Structure 1
Amino acid sequence: MERRKTHMSLRDKALAVRENAYAPYSNFKVGAALTTEAGETYVGCNVENVAYPEGTCAEAGAIAAMIASGESRLTEVYVVADAPLPVSPCGGCRQKLIEFGAGDVVVTMATVDGVEQKMTLSELMPGAFTEEHLENT
């Protein structure tokens, strides 16, 4: 009997990794999954710390996994949390995402119940600070 690999969607992967989030203080678990130009998928979940500013966002974890694997260009992002409305990436993660993705990259923000909102990186981060700002340095 041949076993087939089950294709998991970005949503499925984000939901699955969300379960691994370390969120004992806020109990607000977030999962993120991104796809790269090479077609690979990387995931991340939020990791809290008792010193709140020292935590790590799910999107940052997925980006770190992508970079650690030798890739640097993302083409799609999916973020999911258990909230009444889709949760957008924080400002810091928006800046991180724009570093590795073009303005037309679609970011899907979702609830665990399936409510989704899609925006491009340019819509999420108008006026983003980019390498073009450093051309005279």
Structure 2
Amino acid sequence: MDELKQAAVAVRENAHAPYSNFKVGAALRAADGTVFSGCNVENVAYPEGTCAEAGAIAAMVAAGQRQILEAYVVAGSPMPVPPCGGCRQKLAEFGAGDVRVTMATTKGVEQVMTLAELLPGAFVAAHMDGDA
């Protein structure tokens, strides 16, 4: 996990958060062991920003990977910050329910949950099957 932590902490410094000053870094380990990272990128039109987790997932997919084995998310907050709802669904698209997500503060406080704990009842591809 140290490699993921280092990557998330390092990329957090590159976050573009001039409006909220809330920098977030995320790192994912793909099935082949490669670590992909991302940071939040705000926009003056708030809904147009990008979360750190989404950036890391985009980098992973752009490199041809499709499976998350573990994730680490760090933010400058008093307590570990979980991924937003949209990012939980994005993580669930590429990770199994037992994938560990470590949420951390810049002061070293960590909390670990699985994707299934973060997003019970996730909408999955099986929901698309049917007699439509």
TM over 0.5, shorter chain: yes
3-state SS, counterpart of residue 88 of structure 1: coil
The reply to whether residue 56 of structure 1 matches residue 50 of structure 2 is: yes
State the alpha-carbon separation in 2 of the partners of residues 12 and 66 from structure 1.
Answer: 17
- What amino acid sits opposite 1:31 in the alignment? G
TM-score by length of 2: 0.97
Paired residue for 1:25, among 19, 22, 29?
A: 19
In the TM superposition, 1:87-126 aligns within 5 A as: 87-126=81-120
String of CA shifts for 1:21-50, please: whole Å, max 9, x gaps: 000000000000000110000000000000
3-state SS, counterpart of residue 59 of structure 2: helix
3-state SS, counterpart of residue 122 of structure 1: helix
Higher Cα Rg: structure 1 or 2?
Answer: 1
C-alpha displacement of 1:9: 1.4
Moved over 6 A (4+): none
State the alpha-carbon separation in 1 of the partners of residues 26 and 119 from structure 2.
Answer: 18
3-state SS, counterpart of residue 127 of structure 1: coil
TM-score by length of 1: 0.94
C-alpha displacement of 1:87: 0.3
Give the aligned partner of residue 122 of structure 2.
128
State the alpha-carbon separation in 1 of the partners of residues 11 and 42 from structure 2.
Answer: 15
In the TM superposition, 1:39-54 aligns within 5 A as: 39-54=33-48
Structure 1 unmatched runs, 5+: 1-7
State the alpha-carbon separation in 2 of the partners of residues 37 and 120 from structure 1.
Answer: 17
Structure 2 unmatched runs, 5+: none
Q: How many residues align?
A: 130
Paired residue for 1:36, among 30, 41, 44?
A: 30
CA RMSD of superposed structures (Å)? 0.7
* Identity value in percent: 68
- What amino acid sits opposite 1:34 in the alignment? L
State the alpha-carbon separation in 1 of the partners of residues 120 and 88 from structure 2.
Answer: 10
